[in-house]
Amino acid sequence: MSVFTGAGVAIITPFKSNGEVDYDAFEGIIEDQIARKTDAIVVCGTTGEASTLSHEEHIDVVRYCAQVVKGRVPVVAGTGSNSTETAIYLSQEAEKAGVDGVLLVSPYYNKATQNGLYQHFKATADSIKIPVILYNIQGRTGVNIQPATIVKLVKDVENIVAVKEASGNISQIAQILALADGNIDLYSGNDDQIVPILSLGGKGVISVLSNVMPEYTHDICETFFNGDVKKSAKMQLDALPLINALFSEVNPIPVKEAMFLKGLCGPDLRLPLTRMEPAHAEVLKAEMEKMGVI
């Protein structure tokens, strides 16, 4: 039940200056991604500012994305919540919208136990039939999904098939893959670790960088899978200054600025996120110029 292989974009949600979702800009961004070889579109995740979308907006954005894509690439909807009931509701609505899978972040703020995490993910996955990708990002949620918990979920729940690992802990990632023994798809959640994770058996990346350089990020993965590890590693290293600039402030502040610099949308975010500091924006612009993005 693999959802995709390669580089899936953690796509932004563009807003108008009045705070409404800019669907015209969103359509253009989706079409640009598909034209530039993105392998999947992950909508309403962290980068898509899902935390400041109402439930109605969240579902509308997911539905609109699926309608525009029309099956040309897989669409994965972020439907996680710190409320299991809400995660189930959003996941069921995403399934109705025709997405190819859902991305479930671990419950944030509650700081659930490993048993609580297991029960949360199992209940949510059992409520739908489409594939589920777990999302482990302790820096935002306050909890780490332990390797044993991830592997137990994959073995016990048929449609939990993958994990997006953004812990940054390569040892933990290796442990997940060792325990799973080939029964899990693992995606890097960090753009600076694509090649290291591919080398351990990863399936690809769910990427912020792909918003700005979709074809390049796709090519890092494709080049690796085609056996030219040295070239893939060089591409990874060459992109590091831009990746660092994209994370010089909390995501998605810098990538929203980058997409504005590319002329694909306005720079607007929803509070409590604010526009990038001018000094950081200058560095970002310079790195984009170096990589030929603008």
Q: What are the extents of the domains in the chain?
A: 6-226
Whether residue 76 is predicted with pLDDT greater than 70 in this model: the reply is yes
Q: Is the pLDDT of residue 1 over 80?
A: no
How far apart CA 133 and CA 138 sit, in angstroms, is 16
Listed residue (160, 156, 91) closest to 128, CA to CA: 91
CB-count burial class (<10 Å; 0-12, 13-18, 19+) for 108: middle
The correct answer on CATH 3.60.40.10 for the domain covering 6-226 is no
Task: Average the pLDDT over 250-259 and give the result.
Answer: 98
Helices (H), the chain: 23-35, 55-69, 84-97, 114-126, 138-141, 147-156, 170-180, 194-199, 209-212, 214-225, 229-238, 240-246, 253-261, 278-290
Residue 2 has pLDDT above 90, yes or no: no
Residue 280: burial class (beta carbons within 10 Å; 0-12, 13-18, 19+): middle
Mean pLDDT of 87-103: 98
Residue with tokens 């482990």: 136
Please give the mean pLDDT across all residues of the chain. 97
- pLDDT for the residue 112: 97
Catalytic position from the list 89, 118, 135, 187:
135
Structure tokens at 145: 């999904």
Structure tokens at 218: 């796709």
pLDDT tens-place string over residues 163-221? 999 999 999 999 999 999 999 999 999 999 999 999 999 999 999 999 999 999 999 99
Active-site residue flag, 234? no
Catalytic residue among 89, 118, 164, 256: 164
Q: What is the mean pLDDT of residues 61-72?
A: 98
Per-residue pLDDT of 115-143, as tens digits, reads 999 999 999 999 999 999 999 999 999 99
- In this structure, how many other beta carbons lie within 10 angstroms of the beta carbon of residue 31? 13
Q: What is the pTM of this model?
A: 0.97
- Choose among 122, 70, 121: nearest CA to 99: 70
256 is catalytic: no
